[in-house]
């Protein structure tokens, strides 16, 4: 008998699978009663340090290990009171979609494959959803970090007068963004061989928006010094405060200077699907490339990011390659019937990310996402109002969208250094209590408790509880 990884019959695994599905829906139903997060005990950590298993342990045992060693100690972003960093929750349907995608196990490279056609449709829907250029091309990626890298790569590889794919970077190129630009853009600049020194970070105004005049001056100075300005990065929803750059001014500047405009809209771009919020992001459609995530403010499970690029020709030119084994045929599977996604980004083998998005959008309809995004913005405003009305709390930044930065300040009289120490300790205790998980940042030297509300499970009462706990912990310190 030839061997296979399949068991002689799937009966046992099927039973276990049914139990897993029951357990996981039970887990989702019971989330509110669980701590948002709890630290992994040393004993559990020790059990995880298991040597490479050479002998079978069996499916039942492995699942028991998952429920004992993994499930209780995850970050907790599925929970209604998780507001740390920028994380989505996931949904019941998308959990099932991941099961289906893993079952067929397609590598969505291109050709005449249902996965390719589904992803193509998803890209069309996402353009419509965000009101982005109908002629644009796009590709699903692991997240906005990759989407920023791909956007910047398209900008770099299409620079007129340079042949970067063949010759590499032979002359100094520069990239512009505000000081609030996400660290993934810095990474992208480094990966692209430009060097961090090529990234010009420009100051922001009181609303944490890029100072367009300073950006313009930086471009002029670089041109005078012989550099080639390659790309301006605009932010729609900065990670620290959710600030939105003036994209109209940036697009005008980019057009005047003939520089590529890439927009990092990791979470903020999703506000575009609400007619009520869309006016907060004028000029979004003028981006030459647009990066955003589906695993943040669209609540899909990791990983799901997307980059849209103004023209298919430029997008593909940046990544297209010749390989006999990937050349299209006229018929058969390799007939080029859909997009050849391997020519739109760095990956060859690609997961079937599109399935959970395709199924999720069809299941619920975009209107449902719209109202949840609007609800999150209202919740951010509600939280901000609770903080402002509280004598012992204060906001540390204006609320543009869905990010609220606050701190405990007590009755007054404590200087910033004391308050920084106090709020750092307060946040650690809050997270360790399992009641809520905001994260932190530093704004103009002040340590902030930062709530990023990309959570479809949060209710108003959760924010009341947060304010109550922050004030209570603050007093106890």
Footprint of ligand PLP (CB under 6 A): 86, 143-145, 182, 184, 237-239, 264, 266-267, 293, 305
Comparing CB distances to ligand PLP, the nearer of 283 and 474 is: 283
CA dist 396 and 442 (Å) reads: 10
Judged by beta carbon, residue 274 or residue 439, the one nearer ligand PLP is: 439
- Percent of the chain that is helix, strand, coil (3-state, to 5): 45, 15, 40
CA distances (Å), origin 121, targets 89, 114, 309, 358: 24, 11, 16, 8
Nearer to ligand PLP by C-beta: 164 or 199? 199
Whether the CB-CB separation of 129 and 122 falls below 8 Å is answered with no
3-class DSSP assignment, residue 407: strand
> What DSSP designation does 301 have?
P
- Rounded to whole angstroms, how far apart are CA atoms 236 and 270? 9
Which of 199, 471 has the CB closer to ligand PLP?
199
HEC-encoded secondary structure of 72-141: HHCCCCCCCCEECCCCCCCCHHHHHHHHHHHHHCCCCCCCCCHHHHHHHHHHHHHHHHHCCCCCCEEEEE
Task: Give the integer Cα–Cα distance in Å for 354 and 119.
Answer: 5
Residues in Cβ contact with 369 at an 8 Å cutoff, skipping those fewer than 6 apart: 270, 273, 298, 299, 361
Angle at 76 between CA 375 and CA 474, to 5 degrees: 80
State which residue, 396 or 426, has the beta carbon closest to ligand PLP. 396
* CB of residue 208 to ligand PLP, shortest distance in Å: 12
Could you tell me the two tokens for 455? 């959570």
Closer residue to ligand PLP (CB): 216 or 293: 293
Q: Which is nearer to ligand PLP, 86 or 122 (CB)?
A: 86
CB of 405 to ligand PLP, least distance (A): 14
Task: Find the shortest distance in angstroms from Cβ 274 to ligand PLP.
Answer: 18
Residue of minimal CB distance from ligand PLP? 143
Closer residue to ligand PLP, CB minimum distance, 105 or 183: 183
Give the pairing of strands 228-235 and 173-178: parallel
- Are the C-beta atoms of residues 264 and 233 closer than 8 Å to each other? yes
Q: Is the peptide bond preceding residue 303 cis, with omega within 30 degrees of 0? A: yes
In the complex, least distance from residue 439 CB atom to ligand PLP, rounded to whole angstroms:
12
CB of 320 to ligand PLP, least distance (A): 24
Measured in degrees and rounded to the nearest 5, phi and psi for residue 344 equal: -125, 10
Triad 100, 30, 384: Cα angle to 5°? 100
End-to-end CA distance of the chain: 69
Do the Cβ atoms of 172 and 226 come closer than 8 Å? yes
CB atoms within 10 A of CB 130: 24
d(CA 356, CA 362): 10
CB 238 to ligand PLP: min, Å: 6
Least distance in Å: CB of 204 to ligand PLP? 14
- Least CB distance from residue 280 to ligand PLP, whole Å? 15
Least distance from ligand PLP to the Cβ atom of residue 272, Å: 15
Residue (237 or 438) nearer to ligand PLP, CB? 237
Q: Which residue has the tokens 């991941």?
A: 98
Q: Which is nearer to ligand PLP, 303 or 336 (by Cβ)?
A: 303
At its nearest, how many Å lie between ligand PLP and the CB of residue 86?
A: 4
Q: Which CB, 144 or 309, lies closer to ligand PLP?
A: 144
* Least distance CB 232 / ligand PLP (angstroms): 15
């Amino acid at each position: 008998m030839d061997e296979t990884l399949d068991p002689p019959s799937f009966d046992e695994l099927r039973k276990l699978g049914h139990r897993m599905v029951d357990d996981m829906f039970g887990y989702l139903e019971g989330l509110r009663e669980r701590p948002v997060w709890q630290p992994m005990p040393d004993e559990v950590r020790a059990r995880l340090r298991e040597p490479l298993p050479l002998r079978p342990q069996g499916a039942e045992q492995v699942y028991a290990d998952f429920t004992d060693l993994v499930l209780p100690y995850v970050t907790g972003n599925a929970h209604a009171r998780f507001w740390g960093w920028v994380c989505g929750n996931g949904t019941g349907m998308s959990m099932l979609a991941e099961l289906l995608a893993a079952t067929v196990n397609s590598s969505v490279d291109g050709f005449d494959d249902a996965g390719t056609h589904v992803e193509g449709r998803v890209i069309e829907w996402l353009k419509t959803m965000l009101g982005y250029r109908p002629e644009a091309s796009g590709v699903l990626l692991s997240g906005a970090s990759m989407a920023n890298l791909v956007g910047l790569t398209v900008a770099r590889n299409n620079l007129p007068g340079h042949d970067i794919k063949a010759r590499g970077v032979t002359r100094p190129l520069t990239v512009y963004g505000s000081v609030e630009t996400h660290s993934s853009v810095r990474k992208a600049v480094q990966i692209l061989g430009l060097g961090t020194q090529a990234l010009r970070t420009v100051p922001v105004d009181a609303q944490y928006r890029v100072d367009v005049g300073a950006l313009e001056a930086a471009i002029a100075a670089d041109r005078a010094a012989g550099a080639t300005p390659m790309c301006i990065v605009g932010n729609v929803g900065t990670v620290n405060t959710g600030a939105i750059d003036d994209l109209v001014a940036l697009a005008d500047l980019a057009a005047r200077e003939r520089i590529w405009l890439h927009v990092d809209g990791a979470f903020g771009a999703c506000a575009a699907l609400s007619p009520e919020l869309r006016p907060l992001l004028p000029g979004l459609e003028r981006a030459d490339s647009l990066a955003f995530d589906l695993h943040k403010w669209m609540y899909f499970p990791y990983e799901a990011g997307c980059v849209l690029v103004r023209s298919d020709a430029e997008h593909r030119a940046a990544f297209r390659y010749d390989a006999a084994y990937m050349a299209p045929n006229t018929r058969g599977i390799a007939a080029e019937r859909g997009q050849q996604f391997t020519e739109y980004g760095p990956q060859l083998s690609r997961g079937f990310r599109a399935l959970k998005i395709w199924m999720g959008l069809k299941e619920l309809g975009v209107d449902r996402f719209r109202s949840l995004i609007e609800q999150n913005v209202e919740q951010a405003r509600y939280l901000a109002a609770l903080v402002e009305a509280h004598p012992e709390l204060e906001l540390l930044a204006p609320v543009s969208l869905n990010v609220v930065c606050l701190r405990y300040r007590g009755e007054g009289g404590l200087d910033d250094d004391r308050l920084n120490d106090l709020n750092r300790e307060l946040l650690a205790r809050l997270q360790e209590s399992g009641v809520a998980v905001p994260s932190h940042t530093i704004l103009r030297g002040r340590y902030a408790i930062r709530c990023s509300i990309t959570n479809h499970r949060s209710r108003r009462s959760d924010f009341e509880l947060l304010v109550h706990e922050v004030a209570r912990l603050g007093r106890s310190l």
